[in-house]
Structure 1
Amino acid sequence: MAKVESFTLDHTKVKAPYVRLITEETGKKGDVISNYDLRLVQPNTNAIPTAGLHTIEHLLAGLLRDRLDGVIDCSPFGCRTGFHLITWGKHSTTEVAKALKGSLEAIANDIEWKDVQGTDKYSCGNYRDHSLFSAKEWSKEILSQGISDQPFERHVI
């Protein structure tokens, strides 16, 4: 079985919340795709409940696209501690951290239920499992700790 970089990361050494570049891959035609670790809570210490994480996921899908060029996808980790962000091209971790911070600030302070996309049975595979309240509370908690652009030392942007 192929080795997966994320499973070789020493989760006891990282200091969340942070943004980490996992990999940049260049396709046959020269296109670059980047994969980032958007770690919102400390691994093996905390996890965001599924309803809140699900709502954060739906909101980040749009909010990150508003703040960062080339977003392909933002998908939650199964461990519920953060997200993979996949983009076209290269972005610094500082640039990604600023986009994440702005998105979480919007969730914490501005977003209302009517702003959450994909919350009915036609547009979401588990539409009953959402919580804007939880998404807002977790966003506030994450922001209160500051988002670092480095995974192993706190360099808050």
Structure 2
Amino acid sequence: MSDIELAEVESFALDHTKVKAPYVRKIGVEHGPKGDAISNYDIRFVQPNHGEIPTAGLHTIEHTLAGLIRTRFDGLIDFSPFGCRTGFHLIAWGEPTPAEVAAAIKTSLEDLAEKVTWDDVPGTEAVSCGNYRDHSLHSAKEWAKLILEQGISLDAFDRTNIA
């Protein structure tokens, strides 16, 4: 082991073999110097180490849900994919409940699956995306349908409380 010191990252302490996706999990809340709260959520769509969303589909989900969630949920700061391609971090002002987050995710996925057309997907041109050629609306729609069929749990370890 080298002499490099790394801070502990909560996500790497999570036992990925025990979670049951899809789910919404509140990772934590940070408070700024003026008391502002920022909440971080684990939005897990795919069971870790059992599958992953292909990059093009994940990219289109990211772009589309980043816009759709903002129309349903005040205070969204960021919606960013995990490198493992099994889900997203959702970062928001304040302390929304997992149920509020799950409801916004669910209705956004419903629109993605049933209503969104290619013309609705933002950031699909070179001027608005760093890898605009790597998108798939077909893949994004199929994954949205699959996630909705499975339901989104409000508990990362128990699938009895489905939103």
Q: Distance in 1 between matches of 2:29 and 2:10?
A: 12
Q: Distance in 2 between matches of 1:149 and 1:94?
A: 7
The match for 1:147 among 108, 128, 152 is 152
Partner residue in 2 for 1:129: 134
Q: Distance in 2 between matches of 1:3 and 1:111?
A: 39
Partner residue in 2 for 1:97: 102
Q: Distance in 2 between matches of 1:64 and 1:36?
A: 14
* Runs of 4+ deviating beyond 6 Å: none
Q: Distance in 2 between matches of 1:4 and 1:55?
A: 27
Partner residue in 2 for 1:45: 50
Question: What is the one-letter code of the residue matched to 1:119?
Answer: T
Shift, 1:141, TM fit: 0.5
Q: Which runs of 5+ in 1 are unaligned?
A: none
Shift, 1:87, TM fit: 0.2
Question: What is the one-letter code of the residue matched to 2:162?
Answer: V
TM-score, normalised via structure 2 length: 0.96
Partner residue in 1 for 2:67: 62
TM-score, normalised via structure 1 length: 0.99
Q: Which runs of 5+ in 2 are unaligned?
A: 1-5
Structure with higher Rg: it is 2
Percent identical among aligned pairs is 68
Q: Give the secondary-structure state (helix, strand or coil) at the position aligned to 2:126.
A: coil
What is the number of residues matched between the two proteins? Answer: 157
Partner residue in 2 for 1:156: 162
Q: Distance in 1 between matches of 2:86 and 2:95?
A: 24
The match for 1:83 among 78, 84, 88 is 88
Question: What is the one-letter code of the residue matched to 2:133?
Answer: R
Give the alignment's Cα RMSD to 1 decimal: 0.4
